[in-house]
Structures are given as C-alpha cells and as structure tokens.
Structure 1
Amino acid sequence: MVPVGLALVLALAVAGCNANSSSDGSTKDKNTTAMESVPQGGTLHYLSRKATESFETANAQMVPTSRLRWVHRGLTSWQTFPDKDTILVPDLAKDTGTTDDGGKTWTFELQEGLKFSDGSPITAQDVKYGIERSFAPMFQGGLGYHKTLLEGGTDYDGPYDGKELDSIEVVDEHKIVFHLTRPFGNWPWIVSMPAFAPVPEAADTEPETYGEKPVASGPYMVTSFSKGTQAVLERNPNWKADTDQARLAGPDKIILDMGLNNDTIVQRLIDDKGDDKNAISNALISPSQFQRIESDTSISDRLANGPSGYFRYLAMNVKRPGLSDVRVRQAINYAINKSEIQSVYGGPKFGGQITSSIMTEGIPGATDYDLYPGGDTGDVEKAKELLDEAGVKNLKLTLTYPTDVSAIEEKEALSVKNSLKRVGIDVELKGLDGSTWYELISDAKGDYDLTTNGWGADFPSGMSTIQPLFASSEIGNGGGNASQYSNPEVDAAIDAAISEPDLDKAAEMWAAIDKQIMEDAPIVPFLVQRTQALAGSNILNYFMPAYPPFANELVVGVDH
C-alpha cells in the first residue's frame, strides 16, 4: 500500500505510445494500441534519481511492470495497454492459478523447462524460498499482503534459522500450493508481486547483498553493479521469449545510472543528445517545466501523460467533535474549490482530473458519481445551508500536512483553507515534516482535525484502496485510515468483497462500497492526479496505461 501524502511522489498513467519514428521511417501515433513487438538490439539507458537501485525482491515495493522485472519473473505478471484495462497473465506459471475451495487454497503449476541465468532449473522450491526470504526481519518494508494472508505468516521470521513456512506447499518441482487464512479472490494478483520471484537457496549466501547481483529468471542478468553509481544488465541466455507474455526484451543491454539529480535528468531528456536519446527515467517533471515541454512538439511528442493514477483527498477525522456530524462533513464536500486545487497541480492537462469518488480509472468497478454536486468550484450556499442545519457556527479546525517533499502540499492546504473560509469555517494550517506527519495521522489517538493525503493502489482492485483507507482495522498502528472512519456495515461489506473469488462480482461490490463510504462523507475527493514521464527520441512503445500509474518498462524498445 502506497501512501502519497508526500505529493510529488506521483507518476501516473498515460494513454498512448511514443510518437517516434521507427527504423523504417514510419511514425507510431500516441493514441494507437501498444506495439506487439519492438526492434531487437541497441542499448537502453535508465536515468535514476534514486540514490541506489537494487534488484532485491524481498523488500521491494515496485509494481510488476518496473525495471526489477527485467531481472526477475513472478508466478503471474501484468499486461498493460494504452486504451484498455491492465490484465493479469501467467508468467512462470502455466495459468493464473486455480482454487477449488472458494479462494482459500490456490494452486500454481510452473512451465516446463524454465532455467535461471546460471543454467539451473527454476523449481517450485525456488519460488517458495524466495517468498520465505521476504519474512526475514532484515527485509522489512516490502509489499506485505502475503505476510498476513498465508497461514502462519504472522509468526514466521524467514528461512535463515532453518525454518520453513508450511502454508507454502511444494508438491513437486513444478507445483506449488498456497494455504491462506481466509478466502481471498485477488491472490493471483498478489503472486505477481516482487516477493514471489524465485531465488535458489544455494545462491543466497550473502542475503544483504544478494540484490546487487542476483541469479536472474528474467530476460536480463546483472553483469556489473557499482552501488550508488551504475548497474549493467545484459541478456540472460537461458530466458526464452515464448515462455514470457509480459516482456518484449528489445534492448541487448541496459545501463542504469543511479543517484542523478531529478531536474538534471529532466533537462537531459529535454535536450535529447547522445545516449540520452535512448533513455527513460523515473524523474518527476515539475509543473514549471511543462510550459517548455509543451511549447516544442519535438519534446511534447516524447511525453507520456497519464489519464489516471494517484488519488488526492482531504481526510476529515470523524472522531473530532467538530467533524462528528455527517452534515458538517457533507458541507465541507460542497465547499471545496476543486478547480483551484487542480490548478495547483498543473491544471487539467498535467495536474489531473477532478473527482468525487474513491476508486480511480483502471480499477475494476471504478464509477463516476457525485453525491455532493457543488461543481468544480464548490457550492457555498449549499455548504452554509448544511452547516446551519447542523447548528454549527464559528467552527475552527486545524489542517495538518507534510512539508518536506515540495511546496505543492502547502499550496493545496492553503486552497482548502480559503475554500472553507468562504463558508465560515476557520482553518489553521500546521505543516510537519513527513515522518512526523505520517506518525500523527497513523496513530489511533488522532490528534488532528483535517489532513491532505494521497494514495496509489498496489494492484488493480478496490481492495487495494478501500480497505487500507476505510476499514476499521486500519485505524492507528501505522494504518492508512486517516479519517478514523469506522462503520461496521462497511467493514462487513469490505470483508465480503475481499473474499469473493469471482473478480467481476467483486468489482461490483467494491463499486457499491465506494458509494456507501461517501454517503458518510469521511473524505473530500479532490483529484485523480496525472503523472508525466519523458523519454528519449529513440525510445519506442513508451506509454502509460490507466493502471498502474507508471510506464511499462518491460516493453520499451530502442530504435537503433
């Protein structure tokens, strides 16, 4: 689960391929479907603003379309498209899993003949061991859905003391069975996550540094690694394209440069010289850079600009006396000038789309609706009417927000303050460093009134947004329920949707829960943010889907 109260951590989704010339002189339009293949050969450069990159899977929070998957495969993976929903596909497994007991037990069979980069066979035991490593205390911080879902997971500390997790059952070299604590319909999505990459136990002699040069199951292996500086990836001779539905593996080599200045990366991509013509990155483009990019089609044609992604909202602490009355929270929903917040983030084209619901585009079941139709700029009179009904006058609230990522959070908070002032609510702004802010809003004591926040789903299901933000179990103890919202009927509905093995039916259930929550108005949805990514002029098949909110790094090619 990905809290993004530190706002510019966004990098959202785009509809369209890169409009670059291919080697035959043709042009691929942005809004056509994704390419089914890319040219083989050339060197791809990856410019990273991270101080250091790692190919460790046990504590990774990266989605299955990220650069980690150049080196590692999972049981399942994701296929993305510019113009339709992301789908789950088999990866190491023959299919996306089977269950015969309503989703409490899941079975996967590996494809025959799969090999690691060292020539050894990939077995079900390697998958089991890779998962078990993620429970070790040294690897805390990764995506951890499986740690509470697998039987015995909450009491397991990894394989390094010789213990196994019995709920991961290896039937034979190719069959693995997972025994869960409860029915869970989204388990096939969970096994696409980094921790489910196979790791041969014999190669794991130095766990702390395994991620610098792991044994590869994907199309590339790490041939050179200088921590904080550079990694070089070259083809894994034992990877077979006909076994892999998720990767196109176009480049012969990938050079990943680490620890670069964010703005320098963007400027290098704008300039588009030398090897940077063959580059992609994880750099964040600031609103101030959009004008330069948009003014030059040779740059803007290389910009991926997403239709969906991170969800920005105002959380109202429903346990505070001034916010316990639903009419007050509904009034605040009517009062907010969402258009002004949209402008803070860069306007409709670059900042995002105004929203009034919880789930974002690309999540099955996501539906547009508006229970509090105040328009983009708010309905001041309706807000005042509701406050009068609630008998509220001269309400004073404190809005807490994080300060140490960018100035955007402060501007967003000021916009909320100004909106509420129009309806007679006095708001005091309180900026905190990110760590202090997160500790405050994830504490059950809830010593705050309002906070701005953001959220990105880890996999395309309503569960990945609604459960962490609104289930009673997520109040305090580091949970994401910043509204301190607790509704037994909603909790029961969440539990039923999580357990539903029919994902189409589950999507309908999540849609109903979305609206059920907003009837209680614990939040004000602001914006589904857009995120942009710039690529060099020789990069092919560079697009962002509606979900996930990142370009699919596994399918890009180099026009050489």
Structure 2
Amino acid sequence: MNRKTLVLPAVAGLLAPVLAACGGTDSGSKSSDAIVVGTTDQFTATKEAPAPVDPAYAYDVGTWNILRQTVQTLMTEPKGEGQVVPDAAESCSFTDSGSERYACKLRDGLEFANGDKVTAQDVKFSIERALRLHADSGVSALLNTIDTIETQGDREVIFHLKTPDATFPYKLSTPVAGIINPKDYAKDKLRDGFEVDGSGPYTFHADVKDNAIVSATFTKNPNYKGYVTVNNDKVVLRSFADADADAMGAAIDKGDIDVMTRTMSPAQIQKLDAGSDKNVDLVDMPGLEIRYLAFNTNAPTVKTKAVRQAMAQLIDRGALVSKVYGSQAEPLYSLVPASITGHSNSFLNTYGNPSVAKAKSMLAKAGITTPVKLTLHYTTDHYGSATKQEFEVLQKQLNDSGLFQASIKGHPWTQFRPAEQRGQYDVYGMGWFPDFPDADNFLAPFLGKDNFLGSPYRNSTIERTLIPESRRESDRLNAAKTLTQIQDTVADDVPVLPLWQGKQYVAARDDITGTSYALNSSSTLQLWELGRGVSG
C-alpha cells in the first residue's frame, strides 16, 4: 500500500474582478472499462423530498456530486484549486467597478447531451426557475443577490445584482446555477425522481430500488464542451446500503469496486495508512468539511443564551477529536476553517480552555437551574459511522460537569433533515461542506433569513451591514476585519457551536489514476479525473 499526501496551493479565497477563459486538464488514462466508485452517501426520494436531484432543490454534498458530473455551470472550480474559471462560459467578468454587473459569454456550439442547443435564454430560465421555486432546502439563497437577468442574443448573459457581491462568480459554479433544458424541467414545479439531464461531462442513469439509488452510471457525454477533460468512458457510483463503510471496505479489498470515497471510518483510514493493503492506495488531501452543533434558539431548553454559552465553555474539542478522529481532524473555533482567509479563533478567544467553574457561573448569573436536561440529536447515516461515538463523547463531557443531563438520539438522514428544518430538535449535530471556498460561504448560509438550517436566530447587524460589507471586497484580505466581527458575534450568541474540521480521503486500487484530484477542497467529486492505468 502506498500512502499519498496531496499538497494543494493554500485556499486563499481571493476572487478576481475579471476571470479569463481557460483550457482543460490532462491527467489519467481512458478506458471503456467502467470505474466503480463506492460511497456511503444515500440518495433517497421521500414524500417530503420527492425531487432530491433537481438543481433547484438539491443542497447536500452527495446530490451535488451527482449534479456536478451532469449539469454544467457557467463557472467551475479548477483542478488544483484557485479562482473559478469558465466552463459553459467562454468568458465572464464584472463589467463595473462596484461588483454589481456580471456578464458572461457562452462557448460557441454548446449543446445539451440530447443535441439541443444551449442558449443564453436557457441560462436565464434555469436560474430564474431556482429563484422562483425557492425550495425549502434553502439552496436558492445562494442566488439571492441577483436582481434581474438580461440576455443579448443566444450567447450573452448579464446579471444585475441588488448589492455588490465579489463572491458571485463562485456562486455561478454551484449546481443551483446549473443550466437545464426547459424541455426537461417544468418552469413552476420541481422534477420528481432521479432523472438528470444537462450539458455536463456525463449523462446519468440511476438504478433505483425502494425509492433509493442503488447505483448510478455516468457515461461520457460526447457533446460536452467545457473546461474539464474526461479521462474515462464510464463511471459507476455504487451506494452502500445503510451507509455501511465496512461493506464498502470489503468491496474494495475484493476488487468489486475500484475507488472508495466518503465516508470511510476512522479505523479504515488508520488501517490503510499503516500499509495493511498492498493493492490499495490511500490519498489524503486538504479539506474544508466542518462539524458543529446547531440550536433551535426558540426552544425552551436552549433559548437562554447562557445555556448555549455554557456548552461552548464546557466542550473540549481537543479531547473529542483525539478520542474519535485522531489525526484525521483538528479542533475548530469558528464556523470558518483555519485555512480560509478571514478565519478567526473567535470561540477560543471568547471562552479559552474548557472550564466547569466558568460554565457554572454563566448559568448561575442567568438564573438557570441545573442540571439542564436536553437531548443531542444526530444522523446515523450521513456523516459517517463515527458520528455516534462523537456524540457519546459530547454527552459524557456535558454530563461529567454536573451542569447538564444530556441524552443522545440518532435518526436516519431522511427523517433527521426534515425534522431539523421544522425546528423539532433543540440541539442537533450537522456538517458543512462548502459551496465554494470563501469565508462568506461558512457564514451567510447560517445567518440570514433563508438560512440553510431554518434557524430562527437573527442578527440585523450581521444581515444588513456586515455580510453586505464583506461582499464588497474582491480582495478577501480586505474583508477580514468585517468577517472577524461576524465570527465574534456568533461566538457570543452561539446559534451554532463549531467542533472540528476534517481532512478528506480517497482510497483506490493501485491501477486507478487521477485519484489525487478526485476530490477538491470543497469535497466536489471529480469523476472525470479518474482513469485506469497499470497495477503495481
């Protein structure tokens, strides 16, 4: 077994006001033999979420990784990180000094997979549709700075923004801005089921059982014209039932799958890292995944800020990471990861080291009777098999203080996510994989009116002043002061409690090439990078 560590350029989150057209990639080798990729992600259609892969609804890393292969966007994140580059677009740029007018020109001869021409009007239809449908997943909030969309001929699209937004080019790289064919997607209704059609690198077919994807086949789209080079003819994504990481590991050992992605268990990663399998390579790379506790700030148990602050004062992130994840994660003291421009250790600065005495004083001053009884909710099948152990450690830390009487309860994601959005959980654990690598995307989705969590927490200064101010700065270093103010406010109010940020891993049999770029720092699966080479 060979262990590879991928070192990419530091994620600076720097957004340039002008973005030039770029060429393609050149790694990997081509083969008609399908590459089989395993995942523990579950793709399920339910009564509450019957359209899980509609670009106007999808808003989790698993479904986005389906859409990124199939539905093309104007911009895309490049191989090796850095500023976004044109994909469906030939070129894009701000055409004013205030970052309020953004113009794109489509590539000549762009087609959907079925041969239909892709036009500027299709771009306008797709994005206006997502805004109009305003799905309860919260994904349309990524586009909420758009005022109007103008087209000029078949190839030019102009976005007029309500307020300056230097992060807008990144937002056009996300699947909610994906270009879809009006023939396939109704204007005023989500598309139920698992059909996806677009102009991306692959076409898509799902094998479905009991309203869940068992496997998905991605076949190279001969009509694709864009930034990436597709290094294989076909990839099959196999979803392991019940998010069974052990079954996925057994499958790669037997050669039933070629690649293993999220989410491997900590034990599997440690085993591969130790060189236990000479036929499987482990690649680790920088990641921007974070985990945190979220609060329904209207719930009686945690409505008083002092209760949330006391939890922030008690939880020992270092011990949590050490016991559950080891070297695979590190403590996090802000919603913004340490590698992102604008990060501040606001929770560490506010609370210092864990202290029972300080937490006790906080609760006493607020007149809170102890022990505070509450339940910590977590999902059993979305963030990996170690989640239960993580919550057992959190429970023990809180209860050992004598100030809390916490219980824990696990739920499958199909139940967990809708219940969380409806405010049924007072305290619950969530993860975040960024839509794009900028501090704004670790703050704005949690703190606005249409926030991702459906949280009742509001702070008018953050919403009306600080976030808009930060978006005016195309050089993100100049936004650092404003971003720090936001993080300090979050540390004081504790609507969310950051816990850790993690690395990300890919395991592959040793005849598979391109694995070092199979995931980018935003956890985007880039299946086109994979190829089949020579074993050994």
TM over 0.5: yes
Q: Unaligned 5+ residue runs, structure 1?
A: 1-17, 21-28, 152-166
Q: Take 1:542 and 1:145, find their aligned partners in 2: how far apart are those partners?
A: 32
Q: Unaligned 5+ residue runs, structure 2?
A: 10-23, 46-51
Answer yes or no: is 1:176 the counterpart of 2:176: no
- For residue 217 of structure 1, what is the aligned residue in structure 2? 199
Native 8 Å contact 1:220 1:233 kept in 2: yes
Q: Take 1:433 and 1:234, find their aligned partners in 2: how far apart are those partners?
A: 34
Task: Supply the RMSD in Å over aligned alpha carbons.
Answer: 4.3
Q: Deviations over 1:505-538 (max 9, x none)?
A: 3455223311232144454432113443322222
User: Larger radius of gyration, structure 1 or 2?
Assistant: 1
Q: Take 1:180 and 1:401, find their aligned partners in 2: how far apart are those partners?
A: 39
- For residue 285 of structure 1, what is the aligned residue in structure 2? 264
Q: Take 2:196 and 2:399, find their aligned partners in 1: how far apart are those partners?
A: 56
Q: Take 1:178 and 1:202, find their aligned partners in 2: how far apart are those partners?
A: 23
Native 8 Å contact 1:19 1:30 kept in 2: no
Q: After TM superposition, list the pairs within 5 Å mapping 1:242-391 onto structure 2.
A: 243-244=226-227, 247-257=228-238, 262-263=244-245, 266-271=248-253, 273=255, 276=257, 279-298=258-277, 302-315=281-294, 329-343=308-322, 345-347=324-326, 349-350=327-328, 352-368=329-345, 370-372=348-350, 374-375=352-353, 378-384=354-360
- For residue 447 of structure 2, what is the aligned residue in structure 1? 470
Q: Of 83, 87, 100, which residue of structure 2 is paired with 1:87? A: 83
Native 8 Å contact 1:312 1:452 kept in 2: yes
Amino acid of the residue matched to residue 462 of structure 2?
V
Q: Deviations over 1:379-426 (max 9, x none)?
A: 344444555666766342313313643775554444334333444403
Q: After TM superposition, list the pairs within 5 Å mapping 1:432-511 onto structure 2.
A: 433=411, 442=421, 448=426, 450-471=427-448, 473=449, 479-481=453-455, 485-497=457-469, 499-500=471-472, 502-504=474-476, 505-511=478-484
- For residue 14 of structure 2, what is the aligned residue in structure 1? none
Shift in alpha-carbon separation, 1:61–1:362, aligned structure 2, 3 A: farther
Question: Cα distance, 1:250 vs. partner?
Answer: 0.9
Q: Of 61, 67, 72, which residue of structure 1 is paired with 2:59? A: 61
Q: Deviations over 1:81-132 (max 9, x none)?
A: 3xxx543111121334324273444221112333444555432123223334
Q: Of 412, 415, 419, which residue of structure 1 is paired with 2:393? A: 415
Amino acid of the residue matched to residue 66 of structure 1?
N
Q: Take 1:238 and 1:141, find their aligned partners in 2: how far apart are those partners?
A: 31
TM-score between both structures, scaled by the size of structure 2: 0.76
- For residue 559 of structure 1, what is the aligned residue in structure 2? 533
Q: Deviations over 1:222-254 (max 9, x none)?
A: 5x66544655444433445xx51xx23111333
Q: After TM superposition, list the pairs within 5 Å mapping 1:120-269 onto structure 2.
A: 120-134=116-130, 141=137, 143-145=139-141, 148-151=144-147, 167-202=148-183, 208=191, 212=195, 214=197, 216-222=198-204, 226-227=207-208, 228=213, 231-240=216-225, 243-244=226-227, 247-257=228-238, 262-263=244-245, 266-269=248-251
Answer yes or no: is 1:429 the counterpart of 2:420: no
Shift in alpha-carbon separation, 1:51–1:191, aligned structure 2, 3 A: closer
Q: Tell me, what secondary structure is at the counterpart of 1:254?
A: strand
- For residue 13 of structure 2, what is the aligned residue in structure 1? none
Q: Take 1:424 and 1:230, find their aligned partners in 2: how far apart are those partners?
A: 48
- For residue 30 of structure 1, what is the aligned residue in structure 2? 5
Question: Cα distance, 1:443 vs. partner?
Answer: 5.2
Answer yes or no: is 1:538 the counterpart of 2:511: yes
Native 8 Å contact 1:362 1:547 kept in 2: no
Q: Which moved more, 1:282-291 or 1:61-70?
A: 61-70
Q: Tell me, what secondary structure is at the counterpart of 2:443?
A: helix
Amino acid of the residue matched to residue 194 of structure 1?
P
TM-score between both structures, scaled by the size of structure 1: 0.73
Native 8 Å contact 1:94 1:111 kept in 2: yes
The structure richer in strand per residue is 2
If asked which structure has higher relative contact order (CA below 8 Å, sep 6+), I would say: 1
Shift in alpha-carbon separation, 1:136–1:280, aligned structure 2, 3 A: farther
Q: Take 2:366 and 2:190, find their aligned partners in 1: how far apart are those partners?
A: 59
Shift in alpha-carbon separation, 1:237–1:188, aligned structure 2, 3 A: same
Amino acid of the residue matched to residue 60 of structure 1?
A
Identity %: 21
